A = this chain, B = another copy of it.
Amino acid sequence: MPTPERTSLAAIIAAGREILEHSGASGLTMQAIATKVGVRAPSLYKRVRDRDALLTAVAEAILADLTARLTTAASSAQPREALVALAGAYRGFVQEQPESFRLIFTASAPLEALTRAAEPVLHATRDFVGETEALNAARLVTAWMTGFLQMELAGAFRLGGDVDEAFDYGLEHVLTGLGAQVR
């Protein structure tokens, strides 16, 4: 005799994201998720292969959110402004959801979702430096932003200097470097 479903994959992922931000990746246990969705831990295996697959699914959901935010932020017609707004949106997202940011580069990476998140950057750099250099330029911008945010989160910028100023400085000089002719 069938039993009604007491939860869903969507609910599990949503619970996972909440627990992740609240307790970090180490607090994201099958037990904790099960309790939050009102079920016992073994039942989760009906919807998810194992914990690793669950982390990947959570990372995908996070990346979908981030992609939407970046796309909206980069809507300016001025390519330079679009990139500045995009960088600001990325930083805002990371400051709001630091544990989520940590996960997307840690979890058995969902490459397609990562690629999709990079697309607004790619569009903006295409407008800024042209088609031929667009991919390399996008990788430069993405790498700088991601590295900066990771180091800021790790506290590596805590000793001396103004972090906001360092962010603006980095962004300005990256954009200048992209705009200039390389000898």
Contacts and interface: CB of A to CB of B under 8 A. Distances in A.
Interface of A: 105-106, 109, 111, 114-115, 118, 133, 135-137, 139-140, 142-148, 150-151, 154-161, 165-166, 169-170, 172-178, 180, 182-183
Contact of A161 (B135, B157, B169, B176): B135
Please provide the 8 A-B residue pairs with the shortest distance between their CB atoms, ordered closest to farther: A177-B177, A147-B147, A143-B147, A143-B148, A173-B177, A146-B147, A136-B169, A140-B170
A101 to B, nearest CB: 12
A79 to B, nearest CB: 15
B156 A109 contact: yes
Given A114-B156, A140-B170, A177-B177, 9 more contacts: A111-B156, A118-B156, A136-B166, A139-B161, A139-B166, A142-B147, A147-B150, A172-B182, A174-B177
A170 B159 CA distance: 26
Nearest to A151: B143
B170 A180 contact: no
Nearest to A140: B170
B135 A160 contact: yes
A145 B144 CA distance: 7
Contacts of A156: 109, 111, 114-115, 118
